[in-house]
Amino acid sequence: MPHESISVFDMFKIGVGPSSSHTLGPWRAALRFLNTIQSAHVLQDVTGVKILLYGSLAKTGIGHGTDIAVILGLCGDDPVTIDVNTITPKMQQITASKKMLLNNTVEIDFDPVKDVQFLFNETLPFHPNGLTFLADFKNGNSISETFYSIGGGFVVKEGESEGGKDPVDLSFPINTADDLLHWCMKTGLSISEVVMENEHTWCGEEEIRKKVHNIWQTMKECMYRGCHHKGELPGGLHVRRRAFDLNKKLTAQQTYHDYDSWVKAIQHGGNSFHYILDCVSCFALAVNEENAAFGRVVTAPTNGAAGVIPAVLQYFVVFCNGNNEDAIIKFLLTASEIGSIFKKGATISAAMGGCQAEIGVSSAMAAAALTECMGGSQRQAMMAAEIAMEHHLGLTCDPIGGLVQVPCIERNTMGAIKAITASQLALQSAPDYAKVSLDKVIKTMWDTALDMNSKYKETSDGGLAVNIPISLSEC
Host domain of residue 459: 177-474
Asked if residue 123 belongs to a domain, the reply is yes
Task: Quick: pLDDT tens for 158-196.
Answer: 988 765 456 789 999 999 999 999 999 999 999 999 999
Answer yes or no: is pLDDT of 472 > 50. Answer: no
Percent of the chain with pLDDT over 70: 97
pLDDT at 438 over 50: yes
Residue 233 to residue 237: CA distance in whole angstroms: 8
Length of the chain in residues, anyone? 475
In this prediction, residues 419-434 reach a mean pLDDT of 97
Q: Are residues 439 and 352 in the same domain?
A: yes
Alpha-carbon torsion angle 9, 12, 14, 16, nearest 10: 140
| Residues 387 and 264 occupy one common structural domain | yes
User: What pLDDT score was predicted for residue 34?
Assistant: 97
Average pLDDT value for residue range 343-369: 97
- CA gyration radius for the chain? 22
Residue 397 forms beta bridges with which residues? 457
If asked whether residues 141 and 196 sit together in one domain, one would say: no
Decide: 21 and 350 in contact? Cβ < 8 Å. Answer: yes
The residue-averaged pLDDT of 344-359 equals 97
Query: Got the DSSP string for 220-283?
Result: HHHHHHHTT--SBPSSSS-PBP-HHHHHHHHTTT----SHHHHHHHHHTT---HHHHHHHHHHH
Residues 368 and 253 in one domain: yes
Q: What is the mean pLDDT of the chain?
A: 95
Q: Are residues 115 and 192 in the same domain?
A: no
Q: Has residue 260 been placed in a domain?
A: yes
What's the average model confidence in pLDDT over 302-321?
Answer: 98
Asked if residue 116 and residue 42 are part of one domain, the reply reads: yes
Query: Does pLDDT of 153 surpass 50?
Result: yes
Judge whether 320 lies within some domain: yes
pLDDT digits (tens, 9 = 90+) for 323-333: 999 999 999 99
> Is 171 domain-assigned?
no
Share of the chain above pLDDT 90, in %: 94
pLDDT attached to residue 473: 38
Q: Kindly state whether residue 3 falls inside one of the protein's structural domains.
A: no
Q: Do 152 and 181 share a domain, yes or no?
A: no
Give the model's pLDDT for residue 186: 98
Confidence band of 250 (pLDDT split at 50, 70, 90): very high
Amino acid letter, residue 241? R
As a whole number, mean pLDDT of residues 78-105 equals 96
Q: What is the pLDDT of residues 50-81, one digit of tens each?
A: 999 999 999 999 999 999 999 999 999 999 99
Residues 213 and 141 reside in one and the same domain:
no
pLDDT (tens digit, 9 = 90+) per residue, 389-406? 999 999 999 999 999 999
- 311, part of any domain: yes
pLDDT at 165: 54
What CATH number is associated with residue 82?
Answer: 3.30.1330.90
- Say if residue 192 is in the same domain as residue 70: no
Domain boundary among 124, 157, 190: 157
Q: Is residue 169 part of a domain?
A: no
Q: Is the pLDDT of residue 301 over 70?
A: yes
CA angle 440, 443, 446 (to 5 degrees): 150
Give the pLDDT confidence score for residue 368 in this predicted structure.
Answer: 98
76 with 183, same domain: the answer is no
pLDDT at 2: 58
Q: What is the mean pLDDT of residues 219-233?
A: 97
Clarify whether residues 68 and 205 are in a common domain: no
Report how many domains make up the chain. 2
Q: What is the pLDDT of residue 253?
A: 87
Q: Looking at residue 475, what is its pLDDT? A: 38
CB 312 within 8 Å of CB 338: no
CA 243 – CA 225 distance, rounded (Å): 10
- Is it the case that residue 266 has pLDDT exceeding 70? yes
Tell me whether residue 45 is in a domain: yes
Single out the residue in 100, 122, 157 at which a domain terminates: 157
Regarding whether 354 and 214 lie in a shared domain, the answer is: yes
- Confidence check: pLDDT of 424 > 70: yes
